[in-house]
Amino acid sequence: MSDLSIVTWNINSVRLRAERVANFLKEHQPDVLCLQEIKCHEAQFPAGVFNEIGYTHQQIAGQKGLHGVATVSKLPIEPLPCPDFCGNGHARIVASRIGGYEIHNIYLPAGGDEPDPEINDKFAHKLDFLDRMEKLYADYPSDSPLIVVGDLNIAPQEHDVWSHKQLLKVVSHTPIETEAMARIISAGRFNDLARREHDPDQKLYTWWSYRSKDWAASNRGRRLDHIWANPAAEPKAIPGSFRIHLEERGGYKPSDHAPVEMTFGKL
């Protein structure tokens, strides 16, 4: 097997943007595409669109009108048991083995608007999800190559948001969330590959709100989409291969997220 290139992308409705995704795949040819927020049942997933361009291996966890994740691949997918992160029965994770790597494709709850679990059930769910991740990944064998990707709905570092000071009380960048993510990374001995490749003081964003009239000019973004690797996978992450496909945030009917890519060497 050759190197394994992986893209993660919150597509915000795969049926609405199937043609756009297909064009992206034809141009960039990643081996694996991990989609979040597909917003459809398994039977509604546009499998034929991906089959036609060579992504014939598909693993889908769908949900009517909400959530949903899917991994499509040029290479065979071995479905694996999904870790019990969610607790609410949502379709928020698929676990796969592709090319020898275990890949967890996760759509972590956004958490609503109010960062208080006492009054906001959505935020309480998010914190519970994070707590479950920390406990599971602490027990994951570090000699088994694991890659975690997805829309994790947390911008963890100061320069992962357009204004650290102004967003400290905004869901996705509150201390309770960023500290929980730091504990998960520590427990699983993960390397946050975006920050392995870029200095901490460099601004990095993967999401820009639809509310902005000109997202590129204002550039009020957040880094919500992640690729992590554990100690067995991190040395295989090829330096210089990390990329945020900013161009996909623009154009006709884009997702509010840009695809994020990393390539790993063969095992």
pLDDT in tens, the chain (267 residues): 689 999 999 999 999 999 999 999 999 999 999 999 999 999 999 999 999 999 999 999 999 888 999 999 999 999 999 999 998 889 999 999 999 999 999 999 999 999 999 999 999 999 999 999 999 999 999 899 999 999 999 999 999 999 999 999 999 999 999 999 999 999 999 999 999 999 999 999 999 999 888 999 999 999 999 999 999 999 999 999 999 999 999 999 999 999 999 999 999
Q: What is the CA radius of gyration of the chain?
A: 17
Query: At which residue do the structure tokens 């000109």 appear?
Result: 214
Alpha carbon 264 to chain centroid distance? Answer: 16
Position 212 scores a pLDDT of 82
Relative orientation angle of helices 121-138 and 175-187, to the nearest 10 degrees: 20
**Phi, psi (rounded to 5 degrees) for 243:** -150, 135
Closest CA to 221 of 170, 160, 158: 160
CATH T-level assignment (fold) for domain 4-264 = Deoxyribonuclease I; Chain A (3.60.10)
Please list, in sequence order, all residues whose beta carbon lies within 8 angstroms of the beta carbon of residue 226, skipping any fewer than 6 positions away.
8, 148, 149, 150, 152, 192, 194, 260
Position 26 scores a pLDDT of 98
Residue 18 near residue 261, CB atoms below 8 Å: no
Distances (CA, A) of 23 to 7, 39, 113: 14, 20, 34
- All structural domains of the chain with their residue ranges: 4-264
3/74 Cα distance (integer angstroms): 12
Position 226 scores a pLDDT of 99
The single-letter code of the amino acid at 59 is Q
Position 1 scores a pLDDT of 62
Q: What is the DSSP letter of 133?
A: H
